[in-house]
Structures are given as C-alpha cells and as structure tokens.
Structure 1
Amino acid sequence: MIRQAQPEDAGAIAPLIVLAMDSLAAKFTNSAESAETLALFEKFAGLPANQYSYENVLVYVDEAGISGMISAYDGARLELLRAPFLEHISGTYGFTEIPEQETQEGEYYIDCVSVSPGTQGKGIGRELIKALLEHAAKTGHKKVGLLVSKENPRAEKLYSGLGFLTVKERGFMGGDYFHMQCAV
C-alpha cells in the first residue's frame, strides 16, 4: 500500500533518504558518523515545511512496515523548502556550501526514491514513481523531473522505462547527473 507519510514515520523515512543520497548525505553533517547523519534526516523528516519533510513523502507499506519512499515537491518552492535545512546544517555542522539549483519552476521534482535493501527488485520503486506521477498530475503539474547519477545506469533505465527523457546533463554537489523529465 502507498500512502502519504506522517510525522511519526520519520524514523523509517530517514534511513531511506540516507540510502538514496548515499555519500551525499554525509556531506551535510561534515561527518563520517552515520548515526549523526541519520539523526539529521530523522529530525527534518518529522518536521513540516522543509525539503525532507513527511509532507513531501509517499511511503510504501507492507507487512514489515515502511519499505520504500519517494519525496517530491513543486520545484518553484525549492528555495523556501531548502532554507530551514541549510540554516540548520550551517549553524550545527558548519556546512556553508550552497547547493546548485536541482530543479526549477514548472517542474514537480523527485528529490529521493528509495527502497529498503531487503525488498529491492520487487517493483516497489516503480510503484512509488507511478503513484508520484499520478499525484503530480492531480495537483496540476505538467511535468515531473529528477536528477539521476551518471554512475547509476540501472536507475536511468528504470526512469526511461517510465517515460522520463534526459533533457540535459548537470553537475550537483560534485557529482555528474542526468536531468530527466516526464510529462504527466
């Protein structure tokens, strides 16, 4: 079952965000300490009005609990949603880098898609993406976009199979990505 995330889901959402972001997540805490990074994302997943908020997350729930998530938001709101997170990590961890714009107005942006390692390969990611595309269309958006690492051809293939097309290549926080979009 796919449903809207709730604040109490933050503990299950945070490890999935960190899994999706991989080494990028640790950059925000300037630490190799995974517990600290996990705590950061759990805090923000449980709060409203930010980039990683439960408000922007759909979760996949099975008999074991939450085994997948997708977070997305209106690209026009990126700066507003990003501000509380950047302010916190600047003051708490000394992170002063300003990340590049990963989305823009006119695009409903998928920030993270993640499935628990034990349940990968069962179509959960595909179901979450389809649910998100439907959600975006219902909220009046005409296109959905995302960044996919050039080092992740499996993900690129998944998105291409769902109708996403590469519109450009871009750098983001030291990595090389394809910016892909899908009309909804």
Structure 2
Amino acid sequence: MIRMATQKDSLEIAKLLWVIFEDMELPLLKKISKNKLLDMVAESVGEPTYRFGVNRGLVYELNGEIAGVIFGYPSAEEPIIDEPFKKVLIKNGFDPNENLFIDKETLPDEWYIDSVVVNKKFRGLGIGSALLNEMSETAKKAGYHTIGLNVDMANPKAKKLYCSLGYKKVADLVISGHQYEHMCKNLIDNLHVK
C-alpha cells in the first residue's frame, strides 16, 4: 500500500535514506555521527517544507513494514527545502552552512524526484516502479507537465529502470562531486497529439 509519509515513519525514513547519503559521500557524514545525523534528519521529517518532509513523501508499506520511500517537490521550491534542517543543525550546535546538500539538483518548471529508495529485503518486487509511478500522478495532479530526477552515472541499473518508465537524459550535473545524468519524463498524454 502506498500512503503519505507520517511523523511516526521519520526514523525508518532516515535509516532508508542513509543508503543514499553514503552513496553520495555527503561531506556532513564525516562531521556528525551516524546516529546523531539520523536523529536530526528524523526530527526534520516532521517539517512539511523539508526536502524529506511528511508533505513531500510517499511510503510503500508492505506487511506493516516500510518497504520503500520516495520524495518529490516542485523545482521552484528547491531554495527552501533545506531550511528546516538548518534549524535542526543550529539547535544541535552545528554550523547551518554545512548542510547535507549544497548543490542545485533541479531544472526549471519540473516536479523533481529528490530520492527514491527501497529496503534491500524488498528489492525486485516492483516497489520502486510503483513509487515512481505514484509520484508521477502526484506531479500531474499538481499541474506539472514534466517530472525529473538525477541518476548517478555509476548506477546503470537505476538508469535502466528509469528508462523503462519513460525517462530520458536531458543534462549532466555534478552533485556532491559525483557525475549525474538528469532525466525527465513528459507527463502529458501524447497519444492524441497529431
């Protein structure tokens, strides 16, 4: 079952996102302990405007467990998505300028999929595809014609999945020192266009 993320999911969400944080080799991981950082991300999940806030996330629940999560938002909101986490950094005595994410990730006028992650024990069941398709519906309902995401060039398996769902490469980006391909999908039904 796919549902909106809730505050009670926050620590489990943070733990799933940790895989992405490590893959991206985010600099903050070297400055704050894993448990502390997980707690801080979990605290921020309750803030609706946060990158990983409850209003931006969908959870795939299977047999009472969170099998996967996805987060997305309008690209125009990228400048504000990390403000809640900066407040948590300050509250915990850290420099707010040393945020988890510092690079621009979106392109103009798109709904952006920030993160999608599936728990290892539930991979291969179509959960990632289901979450991506549901986020496309969320974007359409919000009036967006394009949905975008970034895929690490070192992750061809993920790129293959995105291509199978209709995403196409439109740009190259560097995020946290890694090379990414920015991929977009048109959300408008082209079947009746002549």
Q: Is TM > 0.5 for Structure 1 vs Structure 2?
A: yes
Task: Tell which deviates more after alignment, 172-181 or 87-96.
Answer: 87-96
- Cα RMSD after superposing both structures: 2.0
CA contact (8 A) 1:57 1:72 kept: yes
Local SS of the residue matching 2:13: helix
2:182 paired with 1:168: no
Within 5 Å, which residues of 2 pair with 1:27-176?
27-31=27-31, 33-86=33-86, 88-89=88-89, 92-94=93-95, 96=97, 99-176=102-179
Q: State the match for 2:183 in structure 1.
A: 180
> In structure 2, do the counterparts of structure 1 residues 108 and 81 end up closer, same or farther at CA, with 3 Å as the change threshold?
same
Q: How many residues align?
A: 184
Aligned-pair CA distance for 1:64: 3.7
> How many Å separate the matches in 2 of 1:46 and 1:139?
22
CA contact (8 A) 2:153 2:180 kept: yes
Local SS of the residue matching 1:28: helix
> In structure 2, do the counterparts of structure 1 residues 146 and 74 end up closer, same or farther at CA, with 3 Å as the change threshold?
same
> How many Å separate the matches in 2 of 1:48 and 1:134?
20
Q: Deviation string for 1:129-177 (max 9, x for gaps)?
A: 0111111111111111111101100001110110000001111111110
Q: Deviation string for 1:42-81 (max 9, x for gaps)?
A: 1111222211111100000010421100000011001012
Which 5+ residue runs of structure 2 have no aligned equivalent? Answer: 188-194
> How many Å separate the matches in 1 of 2:182 and 2:88?
27
CA contact (8 A) 1:136 1:144 kept: yes
> In structure 2, do the counterparts of structure 1 residues 104 and 86 end up closer, same or farther at CA, with 3 Å as the change threshold?
farther
Identity of aligned residues (%): 30
CA contact (8 A) 2:40 2:85 kept: no
Aligned-pair CA distance for 1:25: 6.6
> How many Å separate the matches in 2 of 1:25 and 1:77?
24
> How many Å separate the matches in 2 of 1:146 and 1:89?
27
2:42 alignment partner AA: E
> How many Å separate the matches in 2 of 1:48 and 1:170?
27
Q: Which one has the largest radius of gyration?
A: 2
Aligned-pair CA distance for 1:100: 2.0
2:55 alignment partner AA: E
> In structure 2, do the counterparts of structure 1 residues 23 and 90 end up closer, same or farther at CA, with 3 Å as the change threshold?
farther
TM-score scaled by structure 2?
0.86
Local SS of the residue matching 1:22: helix
Which 5+ residue runs of structure 1 have no aligned equivalent? Answer: none
Task: Tell which deviates more after alignment, 74-83 or 161-170.
Answer: 74-83
> How many Å separate the matches in 2 of 1:22 and 1:29?
8
